[in-house]
Structure 1
């Protein structure tokens, strides 16, 4: 006996249901389909066309079965979606960058070719993004299927504080103070010195003995041109901070100027690090030139210093453009209001 379309539809619906639920769903579907077909036939529609129309209206049998079994047909539903999305964005903003920096430092310490280091960094970034996205999604998919309670509840206490646009008086004062300290340290290091050096190396004491000298950390040969250029860059940064305060927020023009300034500073500092001209040779000899300190330590410290320079410049650039976006958003909100 050939099965009808209705029989095939009911069989397709109940095949994925728990055994204890199959008989109940079969009886209910048989009755509802028969009633719907009979109603259409009573209105003059052919039986075959009525059956096909009723089954078409019921839709995919797997979707219907999921409704009977109370089984979700989404990977991550609204209960966990925002939590998943916020955590994923946070992890993707931190983990790949940390992994890339770690691989780059390891490659430079191992003295690998630049091309090899770049290739390894690209591979680890892609691999880290894939793993972070996959395993984070798996965890929340399991939570979705098991209905586990994460214990996290929204409350008014979780409302974020308004993000600063860098235009407040406190931002201006803070920026100028930090820049002033940086300039003072440069000048103090050049004309007085920052480190006390004794017979056994760096002297952390406060007294100056007969065998103690005060050395500059930076190479004295950087004066006047390199140190002067650094002071000019500090002045430009101070002018940017004042302009941000006067204009009540960051603008694309100020962000571009800040980006160029950061790139120039990072490029000059990296050149000095690579050329071995940044640190005072007397300071290096007194601290890293001793017999008990391996030569490799100096190279590792130079690599770490270069990474810090690039990291600081990159963050300064990203932060300025983020504040441009926030300032534009605040301006749009005021106009809409």
Structure 2
């Protein structure tokens, strides 16, 4: 069901408040908005126009929430504070992690020691965070004092869309379908094959993974399915489900990257076939990248980085959903 402007406005206002404040503020806002809209309607104004006028008059829900929470907006000043805060949060989520990942990936490809990779990535990440905070704040500091352009007026058209319920049936089905497809792909690779050479099947995954490592993979997948079912039954994420989800992500990433780094994940016969059919161009490119361990090592580093990134996002997303559930932010 599509949320009304009033419901979206109230949700945007209370989502940053402490959980113990949210119900009271929600009730108070709903009552005051309804009364104000009713008063305008009694004066002959259309209900839709009256609702928009009342909400526009209340202003940015972030500023209104700050008043309810008694949070002073003095770092930059109320005129630019919310714009500064939203931009800084967005940049801090994206830029440092992207730069750290790029530095770590580049050093890993160049065969640098693990200590150097970690130290350089962390050092660059800290430097990027400091520079972001300083320069973004400096820009808004200057704007606050010398800027002549008015701040754009907030309207209800800027309200965020209601968030999708992470415990919905569609999310559960999507998760189970993905996990089932993963198992099916592994079984297909083993018994039917994705790669054929002269009529023979060449599995992509190392045959030595069977049966022990594949049993571990199956346990992890079934456990992920159990987490998805638990979230659906409880209608929300909890610290327990997020913790289990994080543990499974760490175990999967650790095992997979270790197998990859020790040459036990990808079938060596497949790699030999690729090298054999690659011709002179392949061998020349492999020779040119000898200092980095060759083409296959570079591809292994990229694959490992992708696995770590996917598992990290899965773990972080579970805690994000838990935080939203705890704060009463998930909308139906």
Q: Deviations over 1:293-322 (max 9, x none)?
A: 215211111111111111111111111111
Residue correspondences, number: 247
Kindly state the Cα deviation for residue 282 of structure 1 after the two structures are TM-superposed.
1.8
Work out whether 1:126 is the aligned partner of 2:115: no
Q: 1:186 to 1:86 in 2, by over 3 A?
A: same
CA distance in 2, matches of 1:332, 1:240: 18
Which stretches of structure 1, 4 residues or longer, exceed 6 Å deviation after superposition?
Answer: none
* Residues 1:76 and 2:76 are matched in the alignment: yes
TM-score (norm 1): 0.68
Residue 149 (structure 2) aligns with: 149
In 1, Cα distance between the equivalents of 2:186 and 2:149? 55
Q: Per-residue displacement from partner, 1:141-195 (whole Å, max 9, x unpaired)?
A: 2322332437744221221223345211111111111111111111111111123
Q: Deviations over 1:113-138 (max 9, x none)?
A: 11111111111011101111122122
Matches within 5 A, 1:169-248: 169-197=169-197, 211=198, 213-248=200-235
Distance 2:252 2:223 in 1: 11
Q: 2:320 aligns with which of 316, 322, 325?
A: 322
**Which consecutive unaligned segments of at least 5 residues does structure 2 have?**
1-73
Aligned to 1:44: none
Unaligned runs of 5+ in 1: 1-73, 198-210
Q: Which segment drifts farther, 87-96 or 142-151?
A: 142-151
Greater RCO (Cα-Cα under 8 Å, separation 6 or more): 2
For residues 178 and 152 of structure 1, do their structure 2 counterparts lie closer, same or farther at Cα, with a shift above 3 Å needed? farther
Rounded to whole Å, the distance in 2 between the matches of 1:243 and 1:280 is 36
Structure 2 match to 1:106: 106
State the match for 1:161 in structure 2: 161
1:300-319 mapped onto 2 (5 Å cutoff): 300-319=298-317
Between the aligned partners of 2:330 and 2:192, the Cα distance in structure 1 is 51
Alignment of 1:134-145 (within 5 A): 134-145=134-145
Q: Equivalents in 2 of 1:86, 1:108: separation in Å?
A: 33
- For the Cα contact (< 8 Å) 2:194–2:203, is it kept in 1? yes
Query: Within 1, Cα distance between the matches of 2:151 and 2:204?
Result: 52
Query: SS of 1:111's equivalent?
Result: coil
Q: In 2 relative to 1, CA 276–94 (structure 1 residues): closer, same or farther, beyond 3 Å?
A: same
Q: Which residue of 2 aligns with 1:85?
A: 85
Q: Distance in 1 between matches of 2:87 and 2:168?
A: 30
CA distance in 2, matches of 1:319, 1:244: 13
**What RMSD over aligned residues (CA atoms) do the two structures have, in Å?**
2.2
Distance 1:86 1:113 in 2: 38
- Change in Cα spacing, 1:286 to 1:152, as seen in structure 2 (3 Å) is farther
Looking at structure 2, the residues matched to 172 and 153 of structure 1 have their Cα atoms a distance apart, in angstroms, of 40
Deviates more, 1:184-193 or 1:285-294: 285-294
Give CA deviations for 1:74-129 in whole Å, capped at 9, x if unaligned: 77322211111101011011110011111111111221111111111111011101
| Whole-Å separation in 1 of the counterparts to 2:148 and 2:207 | 64
The counterpart of 1:284, out of the listed 271, 285, 288, is 271
- Structure 1 residues 332 and 109 mapped into 2: Cα distance closer, same or farther (>3 Å)? closer
Deviation at 1:288, TM superposition (A): 4.3
